[in-house]
Amino acid sequence: MEVHLLIDNRQVSADSGKTFERRNPVSGAVVTTSAAAGVEDARRAADSAGTAFKTWSKTGPTERRQVLLAAADKLEAKIGDISQAMAAEVGASGLWGGFNVMAAANLIREAASLTTQIQGETIPTDKPDTLSMTLRQPVGVILSIVPWNGPVILAARAIAYPIACGNTVIFRASEMSPKTHAFIADAFVEAGLPEGVLNFVVNAPDDAADVIDCLIAHPAVRRINFTGSTRIGRIIAEKSGRNLKRCLLELGGKAPFVVLDDADIDGAVNAAIFGTFLYQGQICMSTERFVVDEAVADQFVDAFAKRAAQLISGDPMVNPACVIGPMIDAASGTRINAMIDDALGKGAQIVVGGHADGVVMPATILDHVKPGMTIYDEETFGPVTTIVRVKGIDEAIRVANDTEYGLAAAVFGRDAHRALTVARRIDAGHVHVNGATVQNEPQAPYGGMKNSGYGRFDGRAVIDEFTEVKWITIEPAGQPYPV
């Protein structure tokens, strides 16, 4: 597969002619050869987006809505190609590929509905015969830095919402999934976006810092949204802060799943399997910690382990039936194996699964995990989860909050009032009572607390992220002044 940059709706090579390769995580074979943008390409993309903003920002809501609805249809039509690209580039199963495309298309349609929801207000004033009001206006060029793990959903939200609000976008794709991301950019352009409204840039891994530095510093770029690790998010925030540019950051997670003593165990296990092992746990919302009341711990762990043992792991390019595909790279397996060994040495027990073999790993559950183990604190980002046994609600809440992260959480209990009380006390941007930690609906605000970032995607919250509020008054020209 080949990938070009997309600037002014034209596919172009990098100014330097440089390319890079993306290899399949299992076979190591080259699956994509991509243009590798440099600083000059980044500058050209930003200049183009800045020029396009002058006209796109003046378009009416109906025009923007029509383009977005068409983009959703174009994206759905590419479901086969995108799923194949995801399998080749990032080891995604057919389930994860199809889910990504359909969810992204629905998100784009929801974004289209927001074009008529961008509203100001009138404000009471003490000045006679004066109208005081606010307007919401497009911001300018938005830099959207998108990861590889949910490549279609996360790209769709980073593009569709800013465009719905009248902005233009530089889509900085992941070097791990260049072809997957290129298909998404193509869908928007094929839908009728004018030149420069969406420019697609991807760089070689060793050029990332220079390209992103250039884009953040460019005067046309007014806001940045980034989805990725907390480590890189801090760097993006620091660079943006030096340029006095606002960020929307969706970062790492260590999602707790609290199982209360009155939980529906079968329902909890269903949610646990989905929330833990979908896309081999490489989702920021994946359930990394099960905080289980000791009264039901044995029952829950036994049922959870039996279900997990049935999940097939492998290469979706070879076995389309596998649920757990490969991790993104061998370094992930090495890192997780070290975490498992550390936990075992400190008293944890493997109840199902085991160590990673390169990039392939079975569904793995560690019981009796405690503070002091690396895996208790650090994000695993793989098909492994932990059981922490607790006694009572207060300890469950304390353990659930004993993390630097605060993105997603779940609580299972038959007493809905009690479960809601627990949900309110958990430090997370979204908490689901009797539901999985992996959830996202485009009409509901999505984002984190603590080291999981700040700002909100989805719902009406994105209007705040991608518009400027302007205060305007209309006053009598002949009004008196004290001086």
Confirm whether 482 is domain-assigned: no
pLDDT in tens, 160-211: 999 999 999 999 999 999 999 999 999 999 999 999 999 999 999 999 999 9
Helix/strand/coil percentages in the chain, nearest 5: 40, 25, 35
pTM (two decimals): 0.94
Same domain (yes/no): 349, 456? no
Q: Decide if 477 is inside a domain.
A: no
- Catalytic positions are 250, 284
Sorting pLDDT into bands at 50, 70 and 90, what band is 317?
confident
Whether residue 300 has pLDDT greater than 90: yes
What proportion of the chain, given as a percentage, has pLDDT over 90? Answer: 97
Q: How many domains are contained in the chain?
A: 2
* pLDDT of the residue at 68: 99
**Predicted confidence band at 319 (pLDDT cuts at 50, 70, 90)?**
confident
CATH number at residue 218: 3.40.605.10
Q: What is the mean pLDDT of residues 107-130?
A: 97
Helices (H), 243-369: 265-277, 297-308, 330-345
Q: What is the mean pLDDT of residues 431-458?
A: 96
Q: How far is the C-alpha of 384 from the C-alpha of 280, rounded, in Å?
A: 8
Residue 219, domain extent: 2-251+452-471
pLDDT grade for 260, boundaries at 50, 70 and 90? very high
Q: Tell whether the model's pLDDT for residue 419 goes beyond 90.
A: yes
Average pLDDT over residues 126-148: 97
Sign of CA dihedral 209, 178, 445, 118: positive
Question: Residue 316 — very low, low, confident or very high, per pLDDT cuts 50/70/90?
Answer: confident
**Residues 294, 407 within the same domain:** yes
Tell me if 379 is assigned to some domain: yes
User: Looking at the structure, do residues 349 and 385 belong to the same domain, yes or no?
Assistant: yes
Domain check: are 157 and 197 in the same one?
yes
Q: Is residue 326 one of the residues assigned to a domain? A: yes
What pLDDT, on the 0 to 100 scale, is given for residue 321?
A: 84
Looking at the fold, whether 280 and 222 belong to one and the same domain comes out as no
Q: CA-CA distances (angstroms) from residue 177 to 83, 118, 146, 211, 223? A: 12, 33, 10, 17, 24
Q: Nearest Cα to 61, choosing from 134, 113, 136?
A: 113
**What pLDDT score does 134 carry?**
98
Tokens 């298909």, located at residue: 183
pLDDT bin (cut points 50, 70, 90) of residue 340 is: very high
* 276 inside domain: yes
* 387: in domain: yes
> In terms of domains, do 466 and 324 share one?
no
pLDDT for res 225: 97
- CATH number of the domain residue 275 falls in: 3.40.309.10
Same domain as 262, residue 355: yes
User: 59 and 104: one domain?
Assistant: yes
127 touches 474 (CB < 8 A): no
Structure confidence at residue 148 as a pLDDT band (50, 70, 90): very high
Q: Are residues 85 and 40 in the same domain?
A: yes
The tokens describing 114, both together, are 């927001």
Identify the CA nearest to 277 among candidates 21, 471, 96: 96
Q: Say yes or no: 464 and 416 in one domain.
A: no
Q: What is the mean pLDDT of residues 220-237?
A: 97
241 and 270 belong to one structural domain: no
**Beta-bridge partner residues of 145:** 172, 226
Mean pLDDT to the nearest integer, 406-434: 98
Mean of the pLDDT values across residues 419-442?
Answer: 97
Q: Are residues 6 and 101 in the same domain?
A: yes
Strands annotated E in 139-230: 141-145, 168-172, 198-201, 221-227
Alpha-carbon distance of 78 to 185, in angstroms, equals 12
Residue with tokens 């980034």: 226
62-107 pLDDT, tens digit per residue, is 999 999 999 999 999 999 999 999 999 999 998 899 999 999 999 9
For the chain, the average pLDDT equals 97
The answer as to whether 134 is a domain residue is: yes
More confident residue, 317 or 414: 414
> Which of 237-246, 315-324, 402-411 is predicted least confidently?
315-324
443 found inside a domain:
no
